[in-house]
Amino acid sequence: MPTISDLRPGEIFVFGSNASGVHGAGAARTAYEKFGAVWGEGHGLHGQTYAIDTMSGIEVMRDEVRNFLEFAREHRDLTFLVTKVGCGIAGYTPAEVAPLFAGRPANAVLPDEFRALLDGR
């Protein structure tokens, strides 16, 4: 998936955040500056964004991804464009993060690196 620079109606930018919602760099900054992420909100849907806490440890991130996937299943009218959450400042590798998205619904569009790991391509 190429860098996301704009969104169509119904598209949601899914990014890695910290629990405090300080969106100072990377995809979090893009989410804040362009797509409606709210400063101080590090979880869930805001504007055309969905924040996943990737900075509070792998177990928290696992729970956050599970909550996100449930949300995506409940909102099939939306398309969730997932960035490489956890693979920037949080320091995880795609091989560590991609398995958290196993069993994702079709409306959760993963980055190429995650898809390749999950789909064996």
Q: Is residue 42 part of a domain?
A: yes
- Decide if 55 contacts 90 (C-beta within 8 A): yes
22 is a domain residue: yes
Q: What is the pTM of this model?
A: 0.95
Per residue in 11-20, pLDDT (tens digit) is 999 999 999 9
Examine residue 5 and state whether it is found in any structural domain, yes or no: no
If pLDDT is split at 50, 70 and 90, which confidence band does 100 have?
very high
Neighbours of 46 (CB within 10 A): 20
C-alpha pair distances (Å), 121 with each of 1, 20, 39, 65: 14, 36, 37, 22
Each residue's pLDDT tens digit, 20-64:
999 999 999 999 999 999 999 999 999 999 999 999 999 999 999
Identify the CATH number of the domain in which residue 79 sits.
Answer: 3.40.220.10
**Domain tally, the chain:** 1
Task: Tell me if 73 is assigned to some domain.
Answer: yes
Q: How far apart are CA 35 and CA 120, in angstroms?
A: 32
Range of the domain at 43: 11-119
